[in-house]
A = this chain, B = another copy of it.
Amino acid sequence: MNAYTHLEARFKRMNLVRDAIAMLEWDAAAMMPDGGSDARADQLAALKLVVHEQATSPALAEFLDAAGEGQGLDAWQRSNLREMKRSFVHATALPADLVEAQSRAVSTCEMRWRTARKENDFKGLLPDLQRVLDLAREEAQIKAQKFGCSLYDALLDAYEPGGKSAAIDAIFADLATFLPGFIDAALERQARKPAAIPFDGPFPAATQTKLAAELMAAVGFDFAHGRLDTSHHPFCGGVPDDVRLTTRWDEADFAKGLMGVMHETGHAMYERGLPLKWRHQPVGFARGMSVHESQSLLVEMQAARSDAFLAYLAPKAAAAFGKSGPAWTVENFARVYRRVQRGLIRVDADEATYPAHVILRYRLERAMIEGRLALRDLPGAWNDGMRELVGTVPPDDRDGCLQDIHWPGGAWGYFPTYTLGAMTAAQLFDAAKRADPNIVPSIGKGDFAPLMAWLRKNVHEQGSHLDTDALLVKATGKTLDAEIFKAHLKARYLDA
């Protein structure tokens, strides 16, 4: 065995333990009785300690130094080595006591946040959130120095490998200019058309489950390699060969849950389509959060809210629930699924206003990490930003700066990936449709196979071989281009 093959063996071993963690985290959300939570926390901590020891082992450093030159590595092996080094650099960048302090601070702050949000108590959360922010800034300083990048980019890199705020700035500035006028125009046009008619429930969870499973199968989800269950927060968990999706059923309204399942199925198809040959190796993993989100939003926003798919869905849903009438027409499905609203809550936002929520968060978290915004000034800055970007101001912090778990949870630098993902989705779908004119007609028949064939070849099977920019260039001919996303929004919300 040479240094490189040693590395492959060690990463496989470590990533199998990570896979075990992923399965246990799914179980904790979907299956575990409440009384099992302490035991599960102990199990996960023990496994994470194993991974940490493996990820930071001095032997790994030696093999990483020795591997590469003169070992006749092919292009994928070289990419794998690059990703191994990235993994090692991230794993070893921080002193153990900082990691430990972060873990404790986040755990305390998340718990405090649940109460603080309920009680609209930003001041009560402030000390714990300040601690989490201080530690994130400490992390950013250490990593920025080691990686030779800006403070914000040092944090962003954990979610968006190679991501640069300079590029995001340009894209988001363009969007921030475009959105307010666009939202005005979309709302104006919407007001001139008939209002969406609410669906007349109730919708039994069992029927929703059956319909959702049929739609998942239509997208290409293989139930021999995955499951659909319920959890408080929907997510796509498990491992590529055993994907565990979760959702939440609202018996009064099937519409949101159904699209939630389509969203998670997009994530699942990415995981399932990752290159089998590179299973358990870093180069075989999903490229990053923006590409991952692009796959869920491509299925949910681009494909499943298209005219073609809604024409397939509306009669199918009506039949499943045994319903008919004006709410169950294709036209009404389009009105329900494309309703634009100046809302306060990001997770409830529509496709058109969502980027405005994200841009706000990006600006604020970057200012806080760079020390330009004090945490105590966050509520005011939040409300100013909402006025400017979304055109509405929250009446309190509960529905304002307290709404997201990301900052209390220590996920600073994550937010931009949502909108980068939405834009990437538009660009990939645009390229896919041009490459195969059969994609949209097939979606109209509930057959996602042509779309998935294109995605599998151009995205899924690429794993982490290329960086995000190169992946997009290879698949679409150019780097991320805001014009395509804007054209999509205009076509759907202004022209149709």
Contact = CB atoms under 8 A, between A and B. Distances in A.
Contact of A34 (B16, B17, B224, B280): B224
A470 interface: no
Given A27-B27, A40-B242, A242-B40, A47 B34 contact: no
A16 B43 contact: yes
B50 A17 contact: yes
19 contacts: A13-B46, A16-B45, A16-B47, A17-B46, A17-B47, A17-B50, A23-B43, A24-B24, A27-B27, A31-B31, A33-B223, A33-B224, A35-B222, A35-B226, A36-B226, A36-B241, A40-B242, A43-B239, A47-B47
Interface in A10-65: 13, 16-17, 19-20, 23-24, 27, 31-36, 38-40, 42-43, 45-47, 49-50
B35 A242 contact: yes
A13 to B, nearest CB: 6
A323 interface: no
A225 interface: yes
| Interface band, chain A | 35 or more
Give chain A's interface secondary structure class.
helix
A-B pairs, 9 with minimum CB distance:
A36-B242, A16-B46, A35-B225, A35-B224, A39-B241, A20-B43, A19-B43, A16-B43, A33-B224
Contacts of A34: 224
A227 interface: yes
A23 B13 contact: no
A49 B17 CA distance: 11
Interface in A237-256: 238-242
Q: What is the oligomeric copy number?
A: 2
A43 B222 CA distance: 21
Nearest to A22: B43
Contacts of A32: 242
Contacts of A17: 43, 46-47, 50
A36 B227 CA distance: 10
Contacts of A280: 42
A280 B31 CA distance: 22
A221 to B, nearest CB: 11
Interface of A: 13, 16-17, 19-20, 23-24, 27, 31-36, 38-40, 42-43, 45-47, 49-50, 222-227, 238-242, 280
A222 to B, nearest CB: 7
B239 A33 contact: no
A39 to B, nearest CB: 4
A20 B24 contact: yes
A290 B46 CA distance: 30
A259 to B, nearest CB: 24
A24 B225 CA distance: 16
A225 B33 contact: yes
A65 to B, nearest CB: 25
Given A17-B43, A17-B47, 10 more contacts: A16-B42, A19-B42, A24-B24, A32-B242, A33-B224, A36-B238, A36-B241, A36-B242, A39-B239, A39-B240
Contacts of A239: 36, 39, 43
A327 B50 CA distance: 57
Interface centre among A20, A35, A40 (most CB of B within 10 A): A20
Given A20-B46, A43-B19, A227 B33 contact: yes
Nearest to A279: B39
B39 A19 contact: yes
Interface centre among A13, A36, A40, A47 (most CB of B within 10 A): A36
A275 to B, nearest CB: 15
Contacts of A23: 24, 27, 43
A13 B224 CA distance: 34
Contacts of A50: 17, 50
